[in-house]
Amino acid sequence: MKNLLSRVLPFLLLWLIGWASPPEVPAQPGSNRDKIALVMKALSNPFFFKMEQGARKYARENGIHLETFGTELETDIERQVGIVDNLISRGYGAIVIAPIDSRKLAPSLKKAIERGIAVIHIDNPLDRDVQAQQGLAIPFVGSDNAKGAALVGDYLRRQLRGKGKLIVIEGIRGARNAELRKEGFLRAATAGGGIDLVDSVSANWHAEDAFARMSGLLDRHGAVDAVFCANDQMALGVLQALDSRNLTGKVLVGGYDNIEAVRHELRNGRMHATVEQHPELMGYHGVALAHRAMRGENIPAYLETPLDLVTHESFGKRIAFSLSERANPFFTAMVQGARAQAESHGVELLSADAGNDDAQQLVAIQGFVDQKVDFLIVNPTHSQAVRLGIELANRARIPVITVDRKEDGGQVVSHIASDNTAGGRLAGEYLARRLQDGGTVAEFEGIPGTSVSYERGKGFNEIIAKHPNLRIAAREVAHFNRDAARDIMARLVAQGQTFDAVFAHNDTMILGVLDALRQANPARRPLLVGFDAIPEALQALRDGQIAATVAQKPERMGALAVDLALKTLRREPVPAFVPVGLELVEASK
Helix (H) or strand (E) holding 485: helix 482-494
* DSSP element (H, E) containing 120: strand 118-122
- For 310-339, the pLDDT digits (tens) are 999 999 999 999 999 998 888 999 999 999
What end-to-end distance do the CA atoms of the chain give, in Å? 55
pLDDT tops 70 at residue 91: yes
List, for residues 450-460, the tens digit of each pLDDT value.
888 999 999 99
CB atoms within 10 A of CB 85: 15
Convert the pLDDT of each residue in 92-121 to its tens digit.
Answer: 999 999 999 888 999 999 999 999 999 999
The dotted CATH code for 420-551 is 3.40.50.2300
CA distance 218 to 205: 19
Alpha carbons within 13 angstroms on the beta-carbon side of residue 71 total 20
Q: Is the model's pLDDT at 18 over the cut of 90?
A: no
Which of helix, strand or coil describes residue 314? helix
- pLDDT 10s digits, 114-169: 999 999 999 988 988 999 999 999 999 999 999 999 999 999 999 999 999 999 99
pLDDT at 73: 84
The ranges assigned to domains in the chain are: 2-143+280-304, 145-276, 316-418+554-586, 420-551
pLDDT higher for 15 or 431?
Answer: 431
Radius of gyration of the chain from its Cα atoms, rounded to whole angstroms: 27
d(CA 16, CA 71): 14
Question: What's the residue count for the chain?
Answer: 589
Mean pLDDT of 422-430: 96
Q: What does DSSP say about strands 470-477 and 439-445: parallel, antiparallel, or unpaired?
A: parallel
| Predicted confidence (pLDDT) at residue 232 exceeds the cutoff of 50 | yes
Q: List Cβ neighbours of 359 (8 Å cut-off, separation of 6 or more).
A: none
Average of pLDDT values for 538-560? 92
CATH number for the domain running over 316-418+554-586: 3.40.50.2300
The domain over range 145-276 is classified in CATH as 3.40.710.10 = no
Crossing angle of helices 46-62 and 279-294, in 10° steps, is 40
Please, what's the b/e burial string for 361-395 (b: 16 or more CB within 10 A of its CB; e: otherwise)?
A: bbebbeebbeeebbbbbbbbbbbebbbebbbbbbe
Q: Distance between CA atoms of 105 and 189, rounded to whole angstroms?
A: 32
Query: Coil, helix or strand for 417?
Result: strand
pLDDT of 13 over the 50 cut = no
SS3 content of the chain, % helix, strand, coil (to 5): 45, 20, 35
Residue 566's DSSP bridge partners are none
In Å, how far from its chain's centre is CA 260?
A: 18
CA distances to 163, 438, 571 from 158, in Å = 9, 61, 11
Please tell me the distance from the alpha carbon of residue 418 to that of residue 104, in angstroms, as a whole number.
42
Residue 428, CA distances (Å) to 186, 385, 465, 528 in order = 49, 30, 10, 12
Residue 83 CB contacts under 8 Å (≥ 6 apart), including other chains? 21, 39, 69, 70, 71
Neighbouring C-alpha atoms within 13 Å toward the C-beta of 423: 33
Residue 543 has phi, psi (to 5 degrees) of -85, 0
Is the predicted pLDDT of residue 20 greater than 80, yes or no?
Answer: no
Residue 31 C-alpha from the chain's centroid: 33
> Confidence band (pLDDT; 50, 70, 90) for 189?
very high
* Four-way CATH pick for 2-143+280-304: 1.10.10.970, 3.40.50.2300, 3.40.630.30, 3.30.70.1230: 3.40.50.2300
Show the CA angle centred on residue 22, arms to residues 19 and 26, nearest 5°.
160
